[in-house]
Chain A
Amino acid sequence: MIDLSLNEVETLSAKAARGAGFSWGLAEDIGRAARRIAVEADNWGQAMLSLAEHAQSFEPPSPARAARWRSGETDAATGGPLCPIRTAALLLDEPLPANVMPLTILDVGLPVWLDAMLSRSAMRVARPAGLATRADVVIESRAETEQSDTGRRGAIDERTLAALNSFAARTYVPESERSRLRGAGGGRVDDE
């Protein structure tokens, strides 16, 4: 196992999320959520890899479905699993009214991410916990709590790390000799 700092967890996760196809803004949120998972559990690497691998198979909530949640109507699933990130982003941007909670949302992919994303809000996933691939989830209110990250690290096994690094590598530009010389400027050896 390799012991990563939480900053490494966050930057690697944000890059891997971007490499997996999430927008820059969502990738930033995912990095921060990965940090929360690493603080609270030991499986952040596996959670991040599952998210990157499944990113393309998730569906965003439709505006009609979002309106249904907001008005307290019973949810209706629409086919593929809901993207936990897009769902959480919507709920964070415009939090649910307290009177519709607890709210059941059907067929959410990787609900651990929904919970991690919501951890900076007054909502949380009541169930299920753990690394389910897809599940119906219950969102409930909770008191906002700020816990200390002090002393936490993000352990990860080498294979998962390599897989995340290859997602992250999709955001890098290969270097040509020309860009190497121009891109950073400089290139001279000490001359004093």
Chain B
Amino acid sequence: MTAIALRPPEVVMRLQRLGAAHPTRLSFLRQLIRRATSEQWRVRKYLFDLDDNGFGRAVYAVDTPVRTYSLVAFSTPLDDEKRSDRVIAQAWDTSYVLYDGLPDAADIARLEANAPLQEAGRYTRSELVLARANKSVRLFEDVASALAQGRQPDEEQLLGVGYLLRTTAVYGNGKFGIADRDEISSRPELAGSFQAEMLTVWLIRSFTLDLADHVARRRNPAGAARLAPDLRRALGVGNATGLGMAPFLVRHPLLTHSWFLARETALARVRAEPQAGAAERDAFSNALADLRRRIARWHSDDSRQAAATRILAADLGALAENLDQLLAKPRPWDALYRFAEDHFSLEGQEACVSLILEPHGALIDDLGDTMKADETPGHAIDGGMSCALLRQALLDSYSWARAIDFAEPSASARFWYVSAEKLEPRLGERFEEDGAELEQPLATARDALGLAAALAKEPSTTSVADFLLRRPEWRHAVRRAQIVAKFPYAEIHDNLIGAELRPVDILRAKLAFFGARSFDPRSDRWLRIALFSGEPLIEDVATMAGEAA
């Protein structure tokens, strides 16, 4: 069997394609669901102390084979005008921590005094994740009042939104005093990327559904209905993600490489399969039908996304029509992918990547374990390398950047900075706003070309160590160049400070690796998504062993 080459970084790592990314079975929430199912994690509602309006506190404990984790949830009154997706908000409908173990009354009291304050509170190493979520107010109320009247809510309206509450931040890795990632990275159940965060969101989902049931029952104890099981399973948790997350992929090059390499390796493995078995064909057809149903409900006011979604729907229609003849060919999955490459939009192509992977768990799921990287020690610079060699490596890995003319103002129209007010990454207009002298080192293409030019002025045998001794301002770019030369999926192959940059493209790629769906850009720099919609409920996994996840 001849191997299929991986799609190269110059194809994979373009912003337009990143902005068309779809979740796959390697996405982090899918990895978590598989582990929880195979290990039969059990959820206990350890505390559920909410008043008639749904305000109060709750603890959901999850027993994994070795350890227990608890979602500690607080639900508090919030004036409508304070309900904002923005990171600058200061109050929320609900707040959460993922607690390491089972909290006692003193822990719960301590967390109740801090978690509703979010960033303004202070946390300990017993807390693994900090999060908050706001209600989709109208929808939550419609659901609660329908249930209180003893009937199910309108399904189309419900699934059109897709969730009852929307998280606006999910913090991990030591933020505001919570546990460092090092504390949990050797625990198998949380070792993978963002597993603690995904566990938190999965538990939040169940809390939001129980919250709606609770409010309905208190309004009409005798006659309220409970949300139907199929609706519970269809609903996810919303999320609003803004610019703050965008620099992550740039700042974590090894991790980024590991995520993309795993996905591309999975795709190449499946494309190399000589034929498609009956089980795989069935699973593919089911996945395709499921995706087409989801796309029919995928709503966005963003005209670009709405147009892309319409074309995606047409692409998948064409795929369905051609499916039988494509799968009859030798190397059917490769034929299918190449058909998509020749005929479909980027959305269509990336959706096909996801669909092709779906039936092939036995072949690719092991790659999930490779989607992590320990970046804590830092990446050592090879200072023994000559300046000439480093320059050549730069020109090789950044050949794409040479097409950008940084003499043009539009090529460096933007600058990334950290705002004094919120300590969050922001994007400024270099030629219109103050502060460009405080630019963050995210201008990857400009800096790579600048470094190459500086190296060109050095005698070719000068060592990189000598160069850096004189020119420490290039240290970050040297480190990056050496990383990218070894880890080709570490770099986004586009200008991150150009006038054309749409940060939502970066956000979407990262969120797709989480397992997000229903991407709904609200501008070029923030979007809403849904997590866990259509996936099993965490309280069900203990009894569904063997079911595909």
Contact = CB atoms under 8 A, between A and B. Distances in A.
Interface residues of A, number: 53
Interface string B152-190: 000000000100001000000111111111110010000
A68 to B, nearest CB: 13
Interface string A74-115: 000000000000100110111000000000000000000000
A6 B182 contact: yes
A143 interface: no
State the majority secondary structure of interface residues on A: mixed
A172 B418 contact: yes
Query: Among B182, B384, B417, B464, which residue has the most Cβ atoms of chain A within 10 A?
Result: B182
B83 A189 contact: yes
A173 B525 contact: no
Contact of A183 (B81, B122, B139, B419): B419
A138 interface: no
Contact of A179 (B433, B466, B526): B433
Contacts of A7: 173-175, 180-181
A5 B182 CA distance: 10
B402 interface: no
Nearest to B415: A173
Nearest to B467: A93
B124 A26 contact: no
A185 B419 contact: no
Given A173-B428, A175-B420, A23 B175 contact: no
A172 B423 contact: yes
B438 A183 contact: no
Contacts of B470: 63
A34 B218 CA distance: 53
B523 interface: yes
Contacts, number: 194
A5 B241 CA distance: 24
B378 A8 contact: no
A169 B420 contact: yes
Contact of B475 (A23, A32, A120): A23
A94 B124 contact: no
B468 interface: yes
Contacts of B112: none
B84 A190 contact: yes
B435 A173 contact: yes
B174 A6 contact: yes
Interface in B83-99: 83-88
Nearest to B479: A25
Nearest to A93: B383
B120 interface: no
Contacts of B424: 184
A160 B87 CA distance: 28
Interface of A: 2-8, 22-26, 28-29, 32, 35, 60-61, 63, 66, 86, 89-90, 92-94, 120-121, 148-151, 153, 169, 171-176, 178-180, 182-190, 192
Closest 5 CB pairs of A and B: A25-B475, A93-B383, A7-B174, A5-B174, A185-B525
